[in-house]
């Protein structure tokens, strides 16, 4: 981890020895330019000698964190603008800064306050704990739930969406269910999130996390009990080297009906972002959620939104390709069900997706005509579905979905025991599995998509000619857009849905580069 501190005195001087994985750099404000010059020469000297007739390797000076610990003006930081990513620029608590232009470095890098109590060592430790490279999340799933045998009420499973329990849970809290597999521990803090909701009556729940001492098979430690109030937001389990794993159980009391989805667990950045630095989330009344990350880039149009495809491991997808475009972008992910819920759900969840995209446009000062929505496979549904809310400059999609209901209907004959998540999407959206529910899910897309005229929108579509998921999606889109003024171009590739992802991905990047050149004169994408 590389940290640059800008201040009157280096925090590293207060330590006898820095951790092995921490590179701490320091410069006073008035010496920033000299510091960069010296550092550039030092780092350039480390580059390998190029072979004959080959160019010198490119030097990239980057810091994971730039920390301001004394008052300064925004213009003083301009030499460092390309040396830190958004959300990596911090100002220490209590330090006053002088802002400059409206779209300067503070806004481009989303300056944040390091609001951590304690001395400089405590703050350095916090930065190390939260600024790790990887992202990861997974689930304790519904099939791995064991119901208390003493519960005498009704139990039924709504596919992999939720398990419902209805009856008398008792006057006092008592065990209701437990997850068969334990929750492991890692060198970072963990964030846990239980999908749960109340259907009827007055039941109450608690989540109990019982730690097992590391290296022991039977020595339990004091449990952590979380109330319903505490379960309204993800709960952070701090790193504890004495704990090997946690057993996870739900306790309940009262009467009525409860619903439970999976328990999500993720690497936690302890308030610095969900999954990645600056990542955020939203959850509805059923505790179903989506995640999103906004990067202002160079703050020049367009703003590019990427909806993640099917992803069993929870986290963001598409950072590399969106970052390479060097324009503002947003990543949106769907951690519901097995690998995503196709970005459709409750009215409040869908309204929030529209809201976060609009907020990012407002932050940049862009109009909706400076927006590109995109996605691959499951992500195409999100890009198309929310395009109706914006009439964007373009929609770029590969292996599209429109009629997810048809995907479910074809599962028995075309894909037995494959992509059963589509059936869970059907249950989650409609509550049923019959023919009427299938058509209702299909129509859900078209009712939304047909609301817009797409007068100035370009649709770039790549599809698989033998797609076994939603094989008619492209032809349906072309038919639906034929009476509108939208621009459409499509490219077909031989094979089934998952047969040639490499070609689709290359095509996807080329379309972005071409759209940037045609609409914004950008020739270096």
pLDDT tens-digit profile of 121-154? 999 999 999 999 999 999 999 999 999 999 999 9
* Mean pLDDT, all residues of the chain: 94
% of the chain surpassing 90 pLDDT: 89
- When pLDDT is averaged across residues 41-54 and rounded to a whole number, the result is 80
Task: Check pLDDT > 70 for residue 346.
Answer: yes
pLDDT tens-digit profile of 209-261? 999 999 887 899 999 999 999 999 999 999 999 999 999 999 999 999 999 99
Residue 524's pLDDT is 57
Residue 508's pLDDT is 96
Distance (Å, whole) CA 411 – CA 419? 8
CB of 373 closer than 8 Å to CB of 380: no
Residue 217's pLDDT is 79
pTM metric for this prediction = 0.95
2-6 and 23-27 strand pairing? parallel
Residue 16's pLDDT is 81
Task: Check pLDDT > 90 for residue 57.
Answer: no
Contacts with 376 (C-beta within 8 Å, 6 or more apart), sequence order: 309, 397, 398, 399, 501, 504, 505, 508
Residue 77's pLDDT is 95
CATH of domain 137-266: 2.60.120.260
Burial of 409 (0-12, 13-18, 19+ CB in 10 A): buried
The lowest-confidence range among 41-55, 262-276, 383-397, 474-488 is: 41-55
CB of 287 closer than 8 Å to CB of 196: yes
Residue 415's pLDDT is 82
% of the chain surpassing 70 pLDDT: 99
CB atoms within 10 A of CB 202: 10
Domain boundary assignment for the chain? 2-130, 137-266, 273-518
What distance separates the 2 farthest-apart alpha carbons in the chain? Answer: 82
Superfamily of domain 273-518 in the CATH hierarchy: Alpha/Beta hydrolase fold, catalytic domain (3.40.50.1820)
243-253 and 174-179 strand pairing? antiparallel
Residue 206's pLDDT is 98
Distance (Å, whole) CA 514 – CA 524? 10
Task: Check pLDDT > 70 for residue 525.
Answer: no
What's the CATH architecture for 2-130? 3-Layer(aba) Sandwich (3.40)
- Asked if the domains 2-130 and 273-518 are classified in one and the same CATH topology, the answer is yes
Phi, psi of 286 (to 5 degrees): -90, 10
pLDDT tens-digit profile of 78-89? 999 999 999 999
Q: Is the dihedral of CA 461, 464, 468, 472 positive or negative?
A: positive
Task: Check pLDDT > 60 for residue 111.
Answer: yes
Task: Check pLDDT > 80 for residue 52.
Answer: no
Task: Check pLDDT > 90 for residue 100.
Answer: no
């Amino acid at each position: 981890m590389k940290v640059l501190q800008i201040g009157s005195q280096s925090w590293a001087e207060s330590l006898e020895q820095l951790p092995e994985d921490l590179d701490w750099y320091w410069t006073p404000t008035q010496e920033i330019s000299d510091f960069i010059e010296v550092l550039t020469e030092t780092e350039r000297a480390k580059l390998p000698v190029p072979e004959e007739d080959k160019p010198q390797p490119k030097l990239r000076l980057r810091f994971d964190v730039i920390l301001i610990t004394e008052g300064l003006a925004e213009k003083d930081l301009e030499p460092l603008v390309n040396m830190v990513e958004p959300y990596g620029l911090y100002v220490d608590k209590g330090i006053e800064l002088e802002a400059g232009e409206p779209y300067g470095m503070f806004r481009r890098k989303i300056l944040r306050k390091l609001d951590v109590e304690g001395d400089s060592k405590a703050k350095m430790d916090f930065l190390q704990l939260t600024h790790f490279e990887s992202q990861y999340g997974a689930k304790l799933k519904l099939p791995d739930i064991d119901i208390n045998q003493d519960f005498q009420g009704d139990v039924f499973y709504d596919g992999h969406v939720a398990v419902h329990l209805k009856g008398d849970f008792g006057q006092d809290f008592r065990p209701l269910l437990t997850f068969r597999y334990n929750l492991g521990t890692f060198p970072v803090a963990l964030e846990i999130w239980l999908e749960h909701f109340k259907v009827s009556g007055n039941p109450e729940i608690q989540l109990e996390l019982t730690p097992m001492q590391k290296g022991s098979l039977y020595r339990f430690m004091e449990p952590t009990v979380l109330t319903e109030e505490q379960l309204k937001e993800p709960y952070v389990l701090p790193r504890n080297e004495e704990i090997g794993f946690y057993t996870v159980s739900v306790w309940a009391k009262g009467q009525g009906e409860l619903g439970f989805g999976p328990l999500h667990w993720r690497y936690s950045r302890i308030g610095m972002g969900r999954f990645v630095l600056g990542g955020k989330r939203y959850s509805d009344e059923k505790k179903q959620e989506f995640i999103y990350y906004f990067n202002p880039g160079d703050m020049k149009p367009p703003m590019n939104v990427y909806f993640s495809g099917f992803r069993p491991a929870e986290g963001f997808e598409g950072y590399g390709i969106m970052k390479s475009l060097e324009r503002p972008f947003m990543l949106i992910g769907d951690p519901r069900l097995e690998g995503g819920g196709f970005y459709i759900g409750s009215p409040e969840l869908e309204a929030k997706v529209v809201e976060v995209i609009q907020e990012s446009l407002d932050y940049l000062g862009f109009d909706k005509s400076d927006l590109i929505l995109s996605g691959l496979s499951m992500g195409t549904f999100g890009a198309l579905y929310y395009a109706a809310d914006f009439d964007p400059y373009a929609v770029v999609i590969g292996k599209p979905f429109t009629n997810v209901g048809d995907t479910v209907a074809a599962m028995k004959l075309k894909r037995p025991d494959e992509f059963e998540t589509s059936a869970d999407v059907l249950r989650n959206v409609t509550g049923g599995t019959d023919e009427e529910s299938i058509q209702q899910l299909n129509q859900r897309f078209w009712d939304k998509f047909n609301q817009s005229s797409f007068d100035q929108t370009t649709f770039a579509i790549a599809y698989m000619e033998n797609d076994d998921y939603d094989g008619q999606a492209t032809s349906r889109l072309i038919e639906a857009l034929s009476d509108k003024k939208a621009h459409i171009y499509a490219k077909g590739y031989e094979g089934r849905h998952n047969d040639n992802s490499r070609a689709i991905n290359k095509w996807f990047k080329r379309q972005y580069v071409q759209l940037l050149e045609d609409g914004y004169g950008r020739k270096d994408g």
